[in-house]
Amino acid sequence: MIRKIIKHLETYSSGVLLILILLSFLYLLATTSRSRRETLDKIVRLETILIRDDPGQEDWREARRILGGVRAGRTDRNLQEAAAEFDRAMDSLGTLPADSIAVPGSEPRRALRGLVRAYAQHLQRREASVDSLLAFLSAGIAVQSAALMISLGRVGAARAEVRHRDEMIALVQKVREEERRGLASYIHDSVLQDLGGLGLRPSVRDDPEGRDLLTESIDRLRRLSYGLAPLHLDQAGLAASLRELVSEHLRRGGPPVDIEELGWDESRLDSGARLVLYRAVQEGLANVRKHAEAGRVELRLVGSHPYLIVTLRDDGRGFDPRSRVGPAAPGGGGLGLALLERQVRSLGAEFILESRPGSGTRLQIRYNPGKENP
């Protein structure tokens, strides 16, 4: 799960960064707009006090309250000095005659006028800095948007390539299955019929050794025909066909297989799903015989709503699935792990392969018949 998240983050890193820049952009706009409104409001209120003809001590104290939440930062020396001068003027209000406070050139007026002017300059400088930052963020958004479009284009191209590859694989598998079915039908309907008719001839019927050889050849061809294509899979059902497959597995010297059905509902499978599940078990049993050196195998067919689950487990020598080298590796059997996994996933089913050297192998397919194929 964590690997998938990391992979998606790597794929869409440009988009994630673009979202972060946009959020920063919007936050900066909101903060700047609010701060600008507050500062302008205070400047206007202070100017209202300055233009009065006879502001009293209460007016100056009101000015001090207005400025109480606005102080200069360390980077604006002029505003710091103006704020300090206004504070000194306010501290001296108690010692000034009431009539001197209203004089245009009085200390409180001069200090407040200087402070308002310093705040206006500070606001201009801050807006210029914000404009520069907004321009930088806008450039970043443009660059990341272009990177995101390129990334999405690459992802789309990669997905199209994967779809094309899967379509080609599906087409190859379809042709392969048709060839298998055609060859199996030919063996079953023509060759076996001819050999059966040959067994009725007196020369063969009266020769015990020839009759036994013919019977053995017919049996081998019948097994070969069924292995190529289970012609009665849809009629007999997957469970019955898998039991016949297990019997063939035992005849070929494979280890014992414990088969169990639990809540299995055959009616939920269509012909395509039956064939893929049949091929998966066929491939798994073939790999067990060739590579696993197992003593026992378990085959479980379980219906657990909404899933139909097929599990094949052995107690053999196992392998490392990450290396793709082992009993189910490509080329190791009829389909190979990669091709088998694509077939299973083409149904919209989950393909789970668990194995460790010395700990056996578990192959599980979880299929939801009601889920649409991807």
Is it true that the peptide bond before 97 is cis, omega within 30 degrees of 0?
Answer: no
Contact between residue 138 and residue 28 where contact means Cβ atoms under 8 Å apart: no
- Structure tokens, 323: 């290396």
The model's confidence at residue 114, banded by pLDDT at 50, 70 and 90, is: confident
Q: Quote the CA–CA distance of 76 and 64 in Å, as a whole number.
A: 20
Contact between residue 327 and residue 254 where contact means Cβ atoms under 8 Å apart: no
Most confident of 179-183, 245-249, 297-301, 319-323: 297-301
Q: What are phi and psi of 328, to 5 degrees?
A: -110, 15
**End-to-end Cα distance, the chain:** 19
> Which CATH code fits 235-367?
3.30.565.10
- Structure tokens, 59: 């007016």
CA-based angle 283:287:290, to the nearest 5?
140
What does DSSP assign to residue 12? T
Reported as a single tens digit per residue, the pLDDT across 205-237 is: 677 777 778 788 877 777 777 677 676 787 888
pTM: 0.55
Torsion of CA 24, 26, 32, 33, to 10 degrees: -170
Residue 298's pLDDT is 95
CA–chain centroid gap for 172, Å, is 28
The model's confidence at residue 314, banded by pLDDT at 50, 70 and 90, is: very high
Q: Quote the CA–CA distance of 307 and 303 in Å, as a whole number.
A: 6
Residue 311's pLDDT is 96
What mean pLDDT comes out for the span 159-168?
79
SS3 category, 80: helix
The candidate with the shortest Cα–Cα distance to 255, out of 284, 227, 226, is 284
Q: Quote the CA–CA distance of 361 and 142 in Å, as a whole number.
A: 51
Residue 251 has pLDDT above 60, yes or no: yes
Residue 373's pLDDT is 57
Residue 102 has pLDDT above 50, yes or no: no
Q: Quote the CA–CA distance of 245 and 284 in Å, as a whole number.
A: 11
Reported as a single tens digit per residue, the pLDDT across 1-44 is: 555 555 555 556 666 766 777 777 777 777 777 777 777 777 78
